[in-house]
A and B are shown apart, each in its own frame.
Chain A
Amino acid sequence: NAGVTQTPKFQVLKTGQSMTLQCAQDMNHNSMYWYRQDPGMGLRLIYYSASEGTTDKGEVPNGYNVSRLNKREFSLRLESAAPSQTSVYFCASSIVSQVGSYNEQFFGPGTRLTVL
């Protein structure tokens, strides 16, 4: 199993450009997440998808959109990139079931994005 994969690993954009970050998991997890990581801030949740067909905003959703394409794939789109979106982006997935289960999240390797 590859676990959680992300593409691309690195990206440089100019202000105003758009791009989509791709994420896929092969663990049959029902929930998927997008985080951004900035120095001293830990990881902050951008959007999540509790199950196929649903998406919800996290702590810092402004400037982003997401698509849960199917159970495996969850993409993050920047429609008009801004320098404030320079960050490392992590995708994660988890299996969420009834009380009593551990919902630890499994992380991809990250995408380092620079917006000039």
Chain B
Amino acid sequence: AQSVTQPDIHITVSEGASLELRCNYSYGATPYLFWYVQSPGQGLQLLLKYFSGDTLVQGIKGFEAEFKRSQSSFNLRKPSVHWSDAAEYFCAVGNNYGQNFVFGPGTRLSVLP
């Protein structure tokens, strides 16, 4: 069965600093990989997704993620964090048929002024 781990429960960074959120997955086939963001009291919004092709994918709000098959990782990065990026971030893995969509436990990001 597939699984997703996000090793960091909570990360605090200063505004303007760079950010990397870690995601490791276990999946038997070619994974579809996703990052979602959840602001307090809100639903989840898709940041970016990877299925195939270029292993560095660009998303909304200046985020990017890199797929590394050898490390089973799909880490999320942003070069300069804004206060509005404070939220919870979820990595997810699935297949193209939707039934096996699995979320990681989430990483809460706090941003210091």
Asked if B32 is an interface residue, CB under 8 A from chain A, the answer is yes
Residue-wise, chain B 3-36 has the 8 Å CB interface mask toward A (1 for contact) of 0100001000000000000000000000010101
* Bound form: Cα–Cα A50–B96 in Å: 12
A42 touches B97 (CB 8 A): no
**How many A-B pairs fall under 8 Å by CB?**
66
Which residue of the partner chain, among A41, A50, A94, A96, contacts B105 with CB atoms under 8 Å? A41
* Bound form: Cα–Cα A90–B101 in Å: 14
- With A50-B99, A102-B51, A105-B101 as contacts: A42 and B90 at CB distance below 8 Å: yes
Chain A residues whose C-beta falls within 8 Å of the C-beta of B98 in the assembled complex: 31, 33, 48, 50, 94, 96, 103, 105
Asked if B43 is an interface residue, CB under 8 A from chain A, the answer is yes
Chain B residues whose C-beta falls within 8 Å of the C-beta of A97 in the assembled complex: 96
* Bound form: Cα–Cα A102–B34 in Å: 10
B34 touches A109 (CB 8 A): no
- With A40-B9, A101-B96, A103-B32 as contacts: A45 and B44 at CB distance below 8 Å: no
- B residues lining the A interface (CB < 8 Å): 4, 9, 32, 34, 36, 42-46, 49, 51, 90, 94-99, 101-106
Which residue of the partner chain, among B45, B96, B103, B106, contacts A96 with CB atoms under 8 Å? B96
Residue-wise, chain A 11-24 has the 8 Å CB interface mask toward B (1 for contact) of 00000000000000
Asked if A79 is an interface residue, CB under 8 A from chain B, the answer is no
Chain A nearest CB: distance from B101 CB in Å? 6
A99 touches B44 (CB 8 A): no
A104 touches B105 (CB 8 A): no
Chain A nearest CB: distance from B39 CB in Å? 11
